[in-house]
Amino acid sequence: MDITRYGDHVEVRIDPATHVAELVLDRPKAMNAVSTAMARGIAAACAALAADTAARAVVLSSTHERAFCVGADLKERNSFTDAELGRQRPQARAAYTGVLELPQPTVAAVHGYALGGGFELALSCDLIVADTSAVVGLPEVSVGVIPGGGGTQLLPRRVGAARAAELVFTARRVEAVEARELGLVDRLAGPGADREEALEMAGRIAANSPVGLRAAKRALRTGWGQDLRAGLEIEDAAWRTVAFSGDRAEGVAAFNEKRTPQWPGV
C-alpha cells in the first residue's frame, strides 16, 4: 500500500494490486469539518490523483466513526472578517471542484453525518455507498448561507428540481433508508460496511480499461443535460479516444484469447 499525506487532515492510499486509490478525510477531532487547511489538502490530493495513471478508481472515505464529514468548519468561519471569507472562498471551492473533476470513477463511502459541504463532497462523486447510520442533507439556509460546494447543481441532477428544492429549502436531514429511496445515495450497506462495499465496487471498476473508464466518465459527465444530438457527438469524441488505444487492442486480444486483459493504460 502506497500512502501519502496531504497536510494534517488528508491521506491518499493506493493499492498497486487493485489500482484503487482511497482519498481519506482524517480530521477526527472535528468530525471532518472542512477547514481552510483541510480544503487545501483535499485539492492537493485530487490534483495528484488526477495525474496518477496507476489509480483507476477512487474511494472517498472517512476515519471518523460517526461522521463522513459535517461540512464547513463553522468555528473557523465565525472568526473570519468578510474580507477573509472572500479570500478563503477559492480555496474551499478548489476542494469540491477537485473531487468533482477527478477523471477516474469515484465512489463515496458514507456513514454517520454527511451534511452541508460533507454531503456535497459525496455528491461530487459518481456513486455513493452509505451504511444504515448515514444522515445526509444540505442545511445551509438554516445558518444563513446556501450550498456552496456544488449542492444546488449536483442535487437536482440526482433527484430532480422539485425534490432538490424541497431538501434545500427545508434544510432537513434525511436518514439512510429514505436517502436510498429518494436517490440521494445509490447503495445501502449494512452497519459499518460502507467503506468495504465502496472498495469492493471500486475494485470491480478498476479491473476494467483505465482508458475506457476515463473516457466513459468524460462522456457521461459532459453529455448530461445536452440534447440528444449534442450528447451523441460527445460520446463519439470520447469513443475515438479509446478506439485507437492500446487498451482497446489488448481488450479485443484478451477476449479472443480467453484471458484476463493486461491493460497498458494508453
How do the residues of the chain divide into helix, strand and coil, expressed in percent and rounded to 5? 50, 20, 30
Catalytic one of 72, 92, 114, 122: 72
Please indicate whether residue 203 is annotated as part of the active site. no
Catalytic one of 41, 98, 116, 117: 117
Catalytic one of 33, 45, 95, 120: 120
Closest Cα partner for 117 from 99, 89, 100, 140?
140
Backbone phi, psi, residue 50, to 5°: -60, -30
Q: Mind giving me the DSSP string for 78-146?
A: HT--HHHHHHHHHHHHHHHHHHHT-SS-EEEEE-SEEETHHHHHHHTSSEEEEETT-EEE--GGGGT--
CA 230 – CA 93 distance, rounded (Å): 29
Catalytic one of 55, 67, 95, 140: 140
Residue at 127: amino acid letter: L
Please indicate whether residue 137 is annotated as part of the active site. no
The label of the residue with cell 491518499 reads: 12
Please indicate whether residue 215 is annotated as part of the active site. no
Q: What is the DSSP letter of 29?
A: G
Please indicate whether residue 178 is annotated as part of the active site. no
* Residues noted as catalytic: 72, 117, 120, 140
